[in-house]
Amino acid sequence: MKQLPKRLLSIDVLRALTMLLMIFINDASGVSGIPAWLDHAKETEDALGFADVIFPAFLFIAGLSIPLAIKSRISKGDSTGQVLFYILSRSAALLIMGFYHVNLEGCSPAAILPRAVWEILITLCFFLVWLDYPDTMAKGKKYTLTGIGIASLIVLAILYRGGDMVHPHWMRTSWWGILGIIGWSYLVCALIYYLTKGSLKLLITAWIVLVVTNISAHTFLDHDLLPIIGDVSAQALTMGGVVAIGIYSYLVKIEKTKRLWLLFTILGIGLITAGLIIRPYAEGISKIRSTPAWIFLCSGITILMFEFFIYLVDVKGKANWFKLIRPAGTSTLTCYLIPYFQVAFIELFNIAYPSILNSGIIGLIRSMATSLIIIGLVGLMEKKRLRLKI
């Protein structure tokens, strides 16, 4: 009986491209005179900017990876307890990092440590705690480095001060940050997948429930419908990826993969159409307000992109075309964290780009070059086994 391989190169390439664009968009946010369509749409706008498609694509791709990762753990002989620990520990890591990142936004100017210093130190601690240490390293050394990272994060939390001189406060969640949102979404969707034993019918049912819940939250119910996960927008996007890879796996299993092209095309176009239809009735299109139209449109776009890369990479074998950005697909979290060092050092040493490098098309070229340099650096780190295991 046939089945999908444990790792699909098409997913790695799609993830790499998405991470490249995420770094680029974040860097380009400081560039003046860029086209409005490239940026995020404002909260009050009924619109979809190019930047508004990147994060939902990442959530969808996370969903694509969940079944493959869990199946791999099971095939290695992991028990139920080990699989659940794997899911919970990955989720906890993302939530902790997201929690610290959110508090960067409100760091007080009067804090004991300057914001940039605190940012550099917490990022270093993330590497100490979640580094993919080689199996050949002595356990004592590994545990010591991990312990130093954990202890340092605790100390940095104690030293933290947010707010201002009049209204100081300790660390808190105004939201969970990008990594925290991924963490909660991963936790919910991975548990659903594992508890349903990957049943495609049950996964589709779960996806529909999440989508309907989001629609309800933006029509006649409160947006903050559920504790923490609110309108379940992130979970709906991630579960869309879980369902998509489930369909692909099923077609491989019954040896009907030729149907994939028609099914994914219909599904992608259908989701985009659904987004346009529901747009006037559920608060329009908005990433910031996580509306149903945004979810449908981004899911449809991403599944069509996934279909394209299945054909280009898995069928035609063109993975080498994307060799330059490969580390962004295999050491993705490392790629995401490195820019925090970049931003912190720029702030700490008050570095400013010449205006010509921070405006218009030249500024965008500089942002893309910066993104590629970061990915290249991560590629060098990957060769030295300096990558996070999350």
Average pLDDT of the segment spanning 267-273: 98
CA angle 32/33/34 to nearest 5° reads: 95
Tokens of 40: 């995020």
Tens-place pLDDT, residues 134-160? 989 999 999 999 999 999 999 999 999
Nearest Cα neighbor of 13 from 320, 239, 272 is 320
Judge contact between 241 and 276, C-beta under 8 A: no
What was the pLDDT predicted at 174? 82
Is residue 317 left, alpha or beta, with left meaning phi > 0 and alpha meaning psi from -120 to 50? Answer: left
* pLDDT of 22 higher than 70: yes
How far apart CA 198 and CA 194 sit, in angstroms, is 6
- For the entire predicted model, the pTM comes to 0.95
Kindly state the helix (H) or strand (E) to which residue 98 belongs, with its residue range. helix 80-105
* pLDDT of 237 higher than 90: yes
What was the pLDDT predicted at 222? 86
* pLDDT of 68 higher than 50: yes
